[in-house]
A and B are shown apart, each in its own frame.
Chain A
Amino acid sequence: MSVKPCLRVENLHVSYDVGSAGFLGGRRKLHAVNDVSMEIAAGETLGLVGESGSGKSTAGLAILRLIDVASGTVRLGETDVAGANRTELRALRKRMQMVFQDPYSSLNPSMTVAQLLEEPLVVHADVPKDERRSMVGRMLESVGLHAGYAARYPHEFSGGQRQRIAIARAMMLHPELVVLDEPVSALDVSTQSQILNLLKKIQGDSGTAFLLVAHDLSVVRLMSPRVAVMYLGEIVETGPSGRVYDEPAHPYTAALISAVPFPDPERQRTVHRIILGGDLPSPMSPPSGCRFRTRCPFVMEICSREAPPKVAVEGGGVASCHLHAHGPKLGGRSLVGFMKDRQLVTVE
C-alpha cells in the first residue's frame, strides 16, 4: 500500500477458553481466528465475508479490542491497539467505533436517543450541553431522522430506524475506522437497501474507513472495493470484489458464490451449483493441512499433509489453495474455467 494504511492487522490470533475437559483436564482453547492479516486505507471499505463459525465477527471485535487478542498486531494509524494499556485504549476508542448486528439490543432501552448519542461526547470530549444538543440534532438529520426524535426511546422505533441511530452513535466523534458487524442482516430487504445507501453516503461525507463484516457477498460487493473471505478462522481468499465474485480462485469462495440464489428462475435452473458436503468442522479440532479439505469438492492428497500456500491471483489478491501449485496447477488463475471443464454439479 502506497498510502499509509488506516488499519493494519498482522498475524492476528484470537482464542477462547472453553470449559474444562473432564475432571482433571485443563481448559481447552478454541482458536476462533487463526493468523489473519489485512490492511484498510483511510476512507476505504474492506469487506470481510464468511458464514457462521468463520471467525469474522470475532476478528472485528478483536480489532477493536472488545475481546482480547491472543497474539499478533493491530495498528490504527501509528498506534498499537493490541498492546495498548487502559489509558491508551480509552483514547483509541475515540478513533474506532462499531455498529452491531442487532438494532434491537444494541441500544440501551432505558436511555433516550439524545442520551445515547451524547454519550460519546460526554465520555471523550468536554463539549458544553447546548453544543451537544445541536451536534446530536445534526447527526440525526444526517442519518435521515428528524432532530426531534432525540427525546424518544429506542423501543419507539423500527429496526431500520434503530440501526440509523446506532450508525449515528458510531459517527458522533468522527472516528477513523468503523467496524460494521452484519449491519443489515437483521433487517427486511426493503430496509436493507436504505441502510446500505446511507452507509455509502456517510462514508463519502466523512472519509471514515469501514470494515464491513457480513455473510452476504452481494452486500459486501456493493459497499467494498476489496473483500476477504474467511473460513473456520482463516482468510482463504482476498482481492477486488468484482474479481473475487466473477473469478473466484478458492473452492470455498466458488461454493459460497454459487450457493446464493439469484432472483431469476431461468438462471437458477441452469446454474452450476457447488453443493458442499459434510459439516463445518469443530473449531476446537480443525482439520490438518487445509481446513477446508473435509468439504472441498476438489480435495487432493496433499491437502491433508500441508497447509496451503498463499498464491497471488490474476486480477489481484491472494488465495490459499493447493490447486494452484498441484493437481490442475492453476498458478493464480481463477477456478471458473477449471470447474466448467469438470462440469460441476456436485451433490455430496
Chain B
Amino acid sequence: MSDNTAPLLEIRDLSVQFPSPHGWLTVVDKVSFNVGRNDIVCVVGESGSGKSVTMQAAVGLVQPKGGRITSGSVRFDGQELVGMGNRQINRIRGDAIGFIFQEPMSSLNPAYTVGEQIAEVVRRHRGASRADAWKRAVEALDRVHIASAASRAAEYPHQFSGGMRQRVMIAMAIACDPKLLIADEPTTALDVTIQARILELLRELQRDSGMSVLFITHDLGVVADIARYVVVMYGAQVVEAAPVDDLFAAPRHPYTSGLLGAMPQVALERGHDPIAIPGTVAQAHAWPNGCRFNPRCGYRREGPCTTAALPLTSVGNGLVRCALTEELRPILGRATMVPA
C-alpha cells in the first residue's frame, strides 16, 4: 500500500473531450485517483471506458490527437502537468515517467538497433556521453533478463520475438530510472505464457527499484496478479476503487461483480455458466440518465438509478459510484470467490 507521504501522481476531476460528428464528446468525465509512491495501481475497464485516454491526457498526449482537457488537474511529484508546455513535459516523459504500450513496434524504430534507441533516451535526458549511454542501455537490457545483453543491444527490433520486443520496450522505459512506469495494456497482445513472464518481470523491477506502476488493462486476472490498488472505470467515469484484496473479496459495484461473474475461470470455479452482462456500453454521445451502467444492471431500480447523476462516495477503504451501495453490499459480497 502507498505510504503516508504525498502521492506521486494525483489526478483530480480530469475531464477530456474529443471531437466527433456529434460534437465534442466527453470521453473522460471528472476522473480522480492517486498513485502513491512504491505503489502499483491498476486501472481496469473495457473498451469505451476511457481508461487509456485518462492516462494519455495525464501526460499531455491527447492534444496531438485532437482532444482537449476541459477540466481537472494532474500533479506529478508536486508539479502540475495540465497546461505544462510541451518542452517541459517532454523532459518528464521518458525520464521521470516511463511508458510501455500494447504494441512494442509503436515505440521501436525498425531502422535503429535497440541499443542505439535506448542509449538515445539516456543521452537525451541525462546528457550522458555516448559510451556511458551505451553502457546504461546494455544494463537496462540486462535488467529485463535479455541474455547476452551486450551483443543483443546491437541487433534490430525485427530480430527479436514479440515477447522479447516487449522486454526491450520495458528496458527503454526504465533506462532512466523513472519514478512512475505507465503501462497501457502491455500484455494484451501476448500469449499467456509470455504474459506471465512479463508480469513477473514487472513485479521484480518494481520491487528492486521502488518505482510506482500505473497499469491499464481489461483483464481482471492480470489485475489480481499485479495490482495493489484497483480503479474500475465504466462509461468515462470511475465506478469503483479499492485495495486489491477488498475489491475481489467484496466488490461494491454491480459492474465489477458482473465482470467477475462473466469470466470463464470464475464461472468454472463456481460451477455455473458465465453470467453475461447483457447489452453493450452506451455510446459517448448518448449516456443514459442517472447511472451509466443502469440499462445493463440486474439490480437497477427506477428512480434512484435512472434520474440524477451519481457521485463517487467513500465506502470502507475505497470508493463506489452506485445508488444502491448499502442494499447491494451483502448480495454482491456473497457472489464472490469460492475459497481456494
Interface residues of A (CB under 8 A from B): 51-52, 158, 160, 188-194, 196-197, 200, 215-216, 218-219, 221-222, 255-256, 258-268, 273, 275-276, 279-280, 347-348
Q: Tell me whether B145 and A348 are in contact (CB under 8 A).
A: yes
Assuming the A-B contacts A51-B191, A51-B193, A218-B265, are A189 and B218 also in contact, with contact meaning beta carbons closer than 8 angstroms in the complex? yes
**The stretch of B206-214, B256-264, B314-322 that contacts the partner chain:** B256-264
Please tell me which one of the listed residues B47, B225, B248 contacts residue A188 in the complex, with CB atoms under 8 A apart: B47
> Least Cβ distance of B296 to chain A in Å?
8
Q: Tell me whether B224 and A191 are in contact (CB under 8 A).
A: no
> Least Cβ distance of A225 to chain B in Å?
13
Q: Which residues of B contact A275 (CB under 8 A)?
A: 193, 196-197, 200
Which chain B residue has the least Cβ–Cβ distance from A223?
B264
Assuming the A-B contacts A160-B280, A218-B268, are A273 and B262 also in contact, with contact meaning beta carbons closer than 8 angstroms in the complex? no
Q: Which residues of B contact A194 (CB under 8 A)?
A: 276-278
In the assembled complex, the Cα of A52 lies from the Cα of B192 at a distance in Å of 10
Chain B: interface size category: 35 or more
Q: Tell me whether B196 and A263 are in contact (CB under 8 A).
A: no
Chain A CB within 8 A of B20 CB: no
Interface residues of B in 250-289 (CB under 8 A from A): 258-260, 262-268, 273-278, 280
Please tell me which one of the listed residues A188, A215, A266, A267 contacts residue B191 in the complex, with CB atoms under 8 A apart: A215
Q: Tell me whether A259 and B273 are in contact (CB under 8 A).
A: no
Q: Tell me whether A218 and B264 are in contact (CB under 8 A).
A: yes
Extra A-B contacts (10), CB below 8 Å, given A190-B46, A260-B192, A263-B265 = A189-B262, A191-B280, A192-B262, A192-B264, A193-B262, A222-B274, A256-B193, A263-B220, A267-B224, A348-B145
Which chain B residue has the least Cβ–Cβ distance from A188?
B46
In the assembled complex, the Cα of A262 lies from the Cα of B161 at a distance in Å of 26
Chain A CB within 8 A of B111 CB: no
Provide the main secondary structure of the chain A interface.
helix
Assuming the A-B contacts A263-B266, A279-B163, A348-B145, are A273 and B224 also in contact, with contact meaning beta carbons closer than 8 angstroms in the complex? no
In the assembled complex, the Cα of A194 lies from the Cα of B275 at a distance in Å of 8
Q: Tell me whether A193 and B244 are in contact (CB under 8 A).
A: no
Please tell me which one of the listed residues B47, B259, B268, B337 contacts residue A221 in the complex, with CB atoms under 8 A apart: B268
Interface residues of B in 47-99 (CB under 8 A from A): 47
Q: Which residues of A contact B221 (CB under 8 A)?
A: 260-263
> Least Cβ distance of B10 to chain A in Å?
25
Assuming the A-B contacts A260-B192, A265-B248, are A189 and B263 also in contact, with contact meaning beta carbons closer than 8 angstroms in the complex? yes
In the assembled complex, the Cα of A256 lies from the Cα of B276 at a distance in Å of 25
Chain A CB within 8 A of B312 CB: no
Please tell me which one of the listed residues B47, B245, B267 contacts residue A266 in the complex, with CB atoms under 8 A apart: B245
Q: Which residues of B contact A188 (CB under 8 A)?
A: 46-47, 218
Q: Which residues of A contact B131 (CB under 8 A)?
A: none
Q: Tell me whether B161 and A280 are in contact (CB under 8 A).
A: yes
Assuming the A-B contacts A261-B225, A263-B221, A280-B161, are A222 and B264 also in contact, with contact meaning beta carbons closer than 8 angstroms in the complex? yes
Q: Which residues of B contact A273 (CB under 8 A)?
A: 196, 200
Chain A CB within 8 A of B310 CB: no
Q: Which residues of A contact B150 (CB under 8 A)?
A: none
In the assembled complex, the Cα of A221 lies from the Cα of B265 at a distance in Å of 9
What are 26 A-B contacts defined by CB distance under 8 Å? A51-B193, A52-B162, A188-B218, A189-B219, A189-B220, A189-B262, A190-B262, A215-B191, A215-B192, A218-B265, A222-B267, A259-B193, A259-B195, A261-B199, A261-B221, A261-B224, A262-B224, A263-B223, A263-B224, A263-B265, A264-B248, A265-B248, A266-B340, A273-B200, A275-B196, A276-B197
Q: Which residues of A contact B245 (CB under 8 A)?
A: 265-266
Q: Tell me whether A267 and B340 are in contact (CB under 8 A).
A: yes
- Among B192, B194, B245, B258, chain A packs the most CB atoms within 10 A around the CB of B192
Across chains A and B, which 10 residue pairs bring their CB atoms closest together, nearest first? A193-B274, A261-B221, A218-B264, A259-B196, A51-B191, A190-B277, A261-B225, A194-B276, A193-B276, A193-B262
